[in-house]
Amino acid sequence: MSAAQDDHRPEAGTDPRAPRRRDAAGTRQLLLESARDLFATNGYRATTVRDISEAAGVNVALINRYFTSKVGLFQACLSGAVNELGAVPRNISLEQISSRITAQLAGVDKARHPHQLLLLLRTSGDEQAEEIRLGILHSFAERLASAAGWEPEDPDSDRMLLHAQVALSAALGISLLRASTGLEPLASAGEQELAEPFHRLITALLSRT
Amino acid sequence: MSAAQDDHRPEAGTDPRAPRRRDAAGTRQLLLESARDLFATNGYRATTVRDISEAAGVNVALINRYFTSKVGLFQACLSGAVNELGAVPRNISLEQISSRITAQLAGVDKARHPHQLLLLLRTSGDEQAEEIRLGILHSFAERLASAAGWEPEDPDSDRMLLHAQVALSAALGISLLRASTGLEPLASAGEQELAEPFHRLITALLSRT
DNA sequence: GCCGTAAGTAAACAACTGCTGACTTGCCTC
DNA sequence: GAGGCAAGTCAGCAGTTGTTTACTTACGGC
């Protein structure tokens, strides 16, 4: 487990029957993390608020207190995900971005945030949440495209953006298939094995011709 | 929703209040098709048996009569999908298979079976259904690999299979993103626009080096 | 030390889910 | 035309879901 998060977890080693320490920000964070993992892993509908609250070791009613509703919590998860996944330097090379995505796919820091990417494939049916999701996906694709030298006023802008979105689709597809099936050898391929085909894919789609 | 679905629907233009024509095989088929569309479009959990029966214009109880349970119906959908998607000639070229997949992605016969591929990304939680799904995915990947000249005893068999599975992931990812978001230009790209990047992708991953 | 506020709890709600059993009705055979 | 049987209907069950409400309790300022 990561230290950074556990700081918020109220007294990790205490007797669970002891009355809970009061820390609004902490419990909020706890709920957010549990929800993100469960939503990503099992999807929105398959995840119940009781699952989440139980995983966080927190009362169910607090979900509605802090996030208004289940979809409110889901929206918060999405908005939070962009912050962590989004820390990408401005002028990154295609090689670098390919390696980064591969690392995410391989689940390097799986312990902390399992399948963070998967959250972007989960649908809630809520319109507002869908917009957030779409926004994240769009900006991801744009960043991918710009790493390939794309610029907004490019004459065949659409083509490059399309290619980037195809590459993004591939990454997400891999992520989903690895997580939700035992499809071998894909499911248990390490970062090394994954890097080669994925780098090929990126190069084929995005390198300047 | 699509009005006319199939030849199997008993007397399409009749007064709906009139007593239903009795045709067990027909109703079964009707349920299968409605279920396949809804499962593919909205996922397993988000689709209720009442949704399905309503879409099929059939009584809810018949789902349990003909398919035992909701997951039974889902399994039947999966098993059925392999038959239709699986009609691929033995020695097909890489180019041909690429075109076929592109056609599926573009939704050429969307009217009949929207997003057939999506069904392969839907999880029910049921172990038996997961096995069916896994089996289909695996055989798809193998067919893709063998179109690239792969043979089971190949020395680096795993590597080729992995590449094929990555390609398959890409196809499924594209399908999912097109269906579940308005991500442009990907979402409304035609068969032409899709063919180019996807063919690149296939070639990069699967062409003999 | 007291006390108000905010954090956390418990129980129950209404709606929805998959499923079942007893019932009705149309079709085919004799 | 009568009767048997399969196809289809109906109402309701038991469990789950998200959410709310009224309650209890810890913490910090006075």
Amino acid symbol at A149: G
In chain A, residues with a C-beta closer than 8 Å to the C-beta of B177 are 121, 137, 165, 168-169, 172
Domain boundary among A78, A110, A137: A78
- The residue-averaged pLDDT of A36-60 equals 97
In the three-class reduction of DSSP (H, G, I as helix; E, B as strand; rest coil), residue B192 is classed as helix
Query: Which positions on strand D lie below 7 Å from a protein C-beta?
Result: 6-12, 16-22, 25-27
Angle between helices A157-180 and B191-206 (to 10 degrees): 60
In a domain, B43, yes or no: no
pLDDT of residue A113: 61
- Residues A51, A96, single domain; the answer is no
pLDDT of residue B10: 44
- Residues A60, A119, single domain; the answer is no
In a domain, B111, yes or no: yes
Tokens 């495209």 appear where? A145
Which two structure tokens, joined as six digits, stand for A82?
């962009």
- Rounded distance, CA A145 to CA A142, Å? 5
- Residues A98, A158, single domain; the answer is yes
- Residues A114, A195, single domain; the answer is yes
Angle between helices B94-106 and B157-180 (to 10 degrees): 20
Is the torsion defined by CA of B39, B40, B41, B42 positive or negative?
positive
Q: Is the pLDDT of residue A58 over 80?
A: yes
- Our CA angle for A34, A35, A39, nearest 5°, is 125
Q: Pick the range with the lowest mean pLDDT from A46-60, A79-93, A148-162.
A: A79-93
- Rounded distance, CA B107 to CA B129, Å? 25
pLDDT of residue A9: 43
- Residues A96, A145, single domain; the answer is yes
Looking at chain A, which residue has its C-alpha nearest residue B203? A204
pLDDT of residue B115: 76
Domain boundary among A50, A78, A106: A78
pLDDT of residue B109: 61
- Rounded distance, CA B148 to CA B151, Å? 9
10-residue mean pLDDT profile of chain B (209 residues): values are: 39 45 91 96 97 97 98 96 74 89 81 78 97 95 90 82 97 96 93 96 89
- Rounded distance, CA B19 to CA B97, Å? 46
Tokens 């070791």 appear where? A57
pLDDT of residue A158: 87
Which two structure tokens, joined as six digits, stand for B190?
């035609």
In a domain, B52, yes or no: no
- Residues A49, A103, single domain; the answer is no
- Rounded distance, CA B176 to CA B196, Å? 19
Q: Is the minimum distance from the CB of B188 to strand C below 7 Å?
A: no
- Residues A108, A193, single domain; the answer is yes
Amino acid symbol at A33: E
- Residues A9, A53, single domain; the answer is yes
Q: Is the minimum distance from the CB of A62 to strand C below 7 Å?
A: yes
Q: Compare CB distances from B197 to A45, A133, A205 and report the shortest one's residue.
A: A205
In a domain, B79, yes or no: no
In a domain, B104, yes or no: yes
In the three-class reduction of DSSP (H, G, I as helix; E, B as strand; rest coil), residue B187 is classed as coil
| Count of structural domains, chain A | 2
pLDDT of residue A49: 98
- Residues A58, A114, single domain; the answer is no
Better-predicted residue by pLDDT, B17 or A191: A191
Domain harbouring A93, CATH code: 1.10.357
In a domain, B201, yes or no: yes
- Residues A73, A118, single domain; the answer is no
Domain boundary among A78, A101, A121: A78
User: CB of B145 within 8 A of CB of B164?
Assistant: yes
Nucleotide D17: closest residue by CA–C1': A48
Q: Is the pLDDT of residue A57 over 70?
A: yes
- Residues A92, A153, single domain; the answer is yes
Looking at chain B, which residue has its C-alpha nearest residue A129? B181
Per DSSP (E only), the strands in B52-143 are none
In a domain, B40, yes or no: no
- Residues A201, A124, single domain; the answer is yes
pLDDT of residue A155: 76
In a domain, B11, yes or no: no
**Domain of B193?**
88-206
